[in-house]
Amino acid sequence: MLKAAGPDSVLVVPACCTSVIQGIYPNTAMNIPVYNVAFATAAASASGMSAAFRAMGKKTNVICYAGDGGTLDIGIQALSGALERGTDFLYICYDNEAYGNTGMQRSGGTPLGARTTTTPGGKTDLKKDIDAIVAAHEPPYQATACAAYPQDLYKKVQKALSFRGPTFIHVLAPCPPGWRYPTEKSVEMGKLAVKSGMWILYEREYGKLTISAPSKAAIRKPVPLEEYLAPQGRFKGIDAKSLDTLKQRIEKNLKRFAAEEAGVC
């Protein structure tokens, strides 16, 4: 992802797992400047940074890299504001569907039925549709991606940075300790999320939808949802009603996206 952005870039990181993986002061594992900001402020901080760079006549990419909690929950107001103002930046939300830093509490990104430390009986609410919320702001470019498809992600980051104005990429990021599956299955988990239709890969350019290749296959014939859920401890003991709701939503979403891409409304 950083490779796609190139060296004339700055990463803006709110409190999230990435706050930790950079290393402890004075060391940093990144090869571009990384500015750590307060939890709710990724998009707002980036607004100021982008404005300042443009005021200096610099084209420096300003890239927010925030988790689902920092994006869907506490940072949504700042994100909405920055999108509405046409801020020239890329916002990447890497979504592991819970507050990972603090030990897996439910977030707006946690799917229905998933157990977290604050939903020990399984989440009773649906995952918040942040992509629809972002789409309502009509950014020039937005996309979804998944860590299991790095080539797809790489291309989308490159593409997003070719636009002026706000761009948004929502990346599903399987999390072994949080989802409770063996680490070596991370790629498989990501692929199953896409193949089952739980996660749909697509791009929107000026509103026009293009479904990405891996999800085209899922639309034709999704793998049974159970194949995705069964290896994950967080879905253990999911009740039948929640499972049924998830399946219905997958079916509805896949149909909706296919119809939209085909121009049928």
Q: Which residues of this chain interact with another protein, rule CB under 8 A?
A: 7-10, 12, 19-20, 22-28, 30-38, 40-41, 43-56, 60, 77-78, 80-81, 84-85
> 186-195 and 213-220 are packed helices; what angle lies between their axes, rounded to 10 degrees?
60
Cα–Cα dist 123/62, whole Å = 34
CB of 186 to another protein, least distance (A): 24
Cα–Cα dist 67/212, whole Å = 23
Find all residues with CB under 8 Å of 259, minimum gap 6, and list them: 265
Taking the least distance from each CB to another protein, the nearer of 85 and 155 is: 85
Given CA atoms 243, 204, 96, 78 in this order, what sign does their dihedral have? negative
Tokens linked to 90:
């890329």
Taking the least distance from each CB to another protein, the nearer of 5 and 175 is: 5
Cα–Cα dist 241/259, whole Å = 27
Residue 180 carries which DSSP code? T
CB of 92 to another protein, least distance (A): 16
CB of 80 to another protein, least distance (A): 7
Taking the least distance from each CB to another protein, the nearer of 45 and 110 is: 45
CB of 53 to another protein, least distance (A): 6
Taking the least distance from each CB to another protein, the nearer of 23 and 224 is: 23
Taking the least distance from each CB to another protein, the nearer of 59 and 241 is: 59
User: Contact, 166 vs 88, CB < 8 A?
Assistant: yes
Residue 8 carries which DSSP code? S
CB of 9 to another protein, least distance (A): 7
Cα–Cα dist 93/211, whole Å = 19
CB of 72 to another protein, least distance (A): 17
Cα–Cα dist 106/165, whole Å = 31
Is residue 53 helix, strand or coil? helix
Taking the least distance from each CB to another protein, the nearer of 25 and 206 is: 25
